[in-house]
Amino acid sequence: MILSFNAEDLRSIIDQGDLRVEGRFVDASNATLYGIVSLGEREVGVIYKPIAGERPLWDFPDGNLAQRERAAYLLSEFLAINIVPYTIIRDGPFGLGMVQQWIEEDENFDVMDFAQSQDLRLRSLALFDAIINNTDRKYGHILMDAQGNLSACDHGVTFHEDDKLRTVIWQFAGLPFNENEIALLEHARNLSKEALSELISPAEINALNLRIDRFLKGSTFPQPSQDWPAIPWPPF
């Protein structure tokens, strides 16, 4: 039986438990598997994306998508946004891959209605996506559990050197950052290069810092690019 655990226990189970695959998401472009991690009698649901199942992308030639998912999680934790479910890179039945805590969604959650709102939690997600240069923020990647906790998944195509922000959340574009958002951006500048050096390239780390500096100088949420599609397709 899958139960709820505190953060420390959940991480211990995902880190150390035995991973078995229960099913596959057939609509995903890369191998995306649902699994159960067991440690003794304790079980946690997870998403498992083996690196061997990744489809090569011409514009993300360095590293792999799993590393970018882990980098997004580390930044979320460093900034205390806590928007990305616990994410590690570990071994599994199909080799090394990304393993992420499964979020049980609220069945009554209307993601399209929420994603077009002015909710402050959504505003934090929009800023996070701008920082990581997320090129694939779809409606289906926005998750809400029954307790009203917002999470976001699928961060494999992030941290590119070029501006590639594509998202379904554009209602904050051009709005000035508030004091908390400016403080968060300033804090983001303090994330050490060592924390990300094994996950994304030096050029991408440099681009991350330059992007943060640009946001601080402009003091507003970014606008959609005129040179790149603003919304991922399909948007779900």
Which pLDDT belongs to residue 128?
A: 98
How confident is the model over 60-100, as pLDDT tens digits?
888 899 999 999 999 999 999 999 999 999 999 999 999 99
* pLDDT computed for residue 59 by the predictor: 86
pLDDT at position 2 over 80: no
Mean pLDDT of the chain: 94
Task: Please provide residue 148's backbone torsions phi and psi, each rounded to the nearest 5 degrees.
Answer: 80, 20
Which H, E and C letters describe the chain, residue by residue? CCCCCCHHHHHHHHHHCEEEEEEECCCCCCCCEEEEEEECCEEEEEEEEEHHHCCCCCCCCCCCHHHHHHHHHHHHHHCCCCCCCCEEEECCCCCCEEEEECCCCCCCCCHHHHHCCCCHHHHHHHHHHHHHCCCCECHHHEEECCCCCEEECCCCCCCCCCCCCCECCCCCCCCECCHHHHHHHHHHCCCCHHHHCCCCCHHHHHHHHHHHHHHHHHCECCCCCCCCCCCCCCCC
Q: What is the chain's length?
A: 236
The model's pLDDT over 36-67, given as tens digits with 9 standing for 90+, comes to 999 999 999 999 999 999 988 888 888 899 99
pLDDT confidence band for 194 (50 / 70 / 90): confident
Using one digit for the tens of pLDDT, what is the confidence trace for 146-178? 999 999 999 999 999 999 999 999 999 999 999
The reported pLDDT for the residue numbered 182 is 97
In which band, very low, low, confident or very high, does the pLDDT at 6 lie, cut at 50, 70 and 90? confident
- The band of 138, judged by pLDDT with boundaries at 50, 70 and 90, is very high
Q: Which domains does the chain have, with CATH numbers?
A: 7-218 (1.10.510)
pTM above 0.85, yes or no: yes
ω before 234 within 30° of 0 (cis)? yes
Of all residues in the chain, what percent carry a pLDDT higher than 70? Answer: 98
Average pLDDT value for residue range 102-115: 95
**What does the radius of gyration of the chain's CA atoms come to, in whole angstroms?**
17
